């Protein structure tokens, strides 16, 4: 079993009823693994498995494991995030702390994030996401 399997099993053992009621499991695939404007893998894309567990109305735990889709590329990473979310005057915000483990490189990163979205009656909702990477000692962000 991989590390992520132990985390998922641990969540189920801690509180099976709560985990089932407040948990979302998703899988996905990206044909290219592009972040911060650069392609992170020389060949192929990345396959993701994600578990989101709402521990309360405002707190959540997110565990994401990604592995290269190309057998010639040895790459996998694990992201574990604890996030607090709230809404004030129809503006939703999320503050998160993420630990990222890059297994091949035997390195890790800690990221602090802040996201906000203003819900409006029309279909355009302003969105801003800012992340500080301790490994890179810098910020990156997106918005629309």
Per residue in 10-43, pLDDT tens? 554 444 444 455 889 999 999 998 887 788 898 9
Specify the pTM.
0.78
Q: How open is the CA angle 88-130-50, to the nearest 5 degrees?
A: 90
Euclidean distance between CA atoms 45 and 36, whole angstroms: 15
Mean pLDDT of 120-138: 85
Domain edges within the chain: 3-143
Lowest mean pLDDT among 17-21, 62-66, 86-90: 17-21
Euclidean distance between CA atoms 124 and 118, whole angstroms: 9
Per-residue confidence (pLDDT) for residue 100, from 0 to 100: 95
């Amino acid at each position: 079993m991989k590390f992520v399997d132990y985390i998922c099993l641990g969540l189920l053992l801690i509180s099976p009823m709560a985990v089932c009621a407040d948990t979302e499991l998703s899988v996905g695939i990206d044909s290219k693994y592009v972040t911060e404007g650069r392609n992170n893998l020389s060949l192929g894309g990345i396959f993701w498995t994600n578990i989101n567990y709402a521990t309360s109305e405002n707190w959540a735990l997110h565990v994401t494991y990604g592995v290269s889709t190309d057998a010639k590329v040895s790459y996998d990473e694990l992201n574990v995030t604890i996030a607090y979310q709230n809404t004030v005057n129809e503006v939703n915000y999320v503050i998160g702390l993420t630990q990222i483990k890059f297994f091949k490189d035997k390195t890790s990163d800690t990221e602090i994030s802040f996201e906000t979205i203003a819900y409006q009656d029309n279909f355009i909702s302003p969105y801003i996401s800012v992340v500080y990477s301790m490994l890179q000692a810098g910020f990156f962000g997106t918005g629309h």
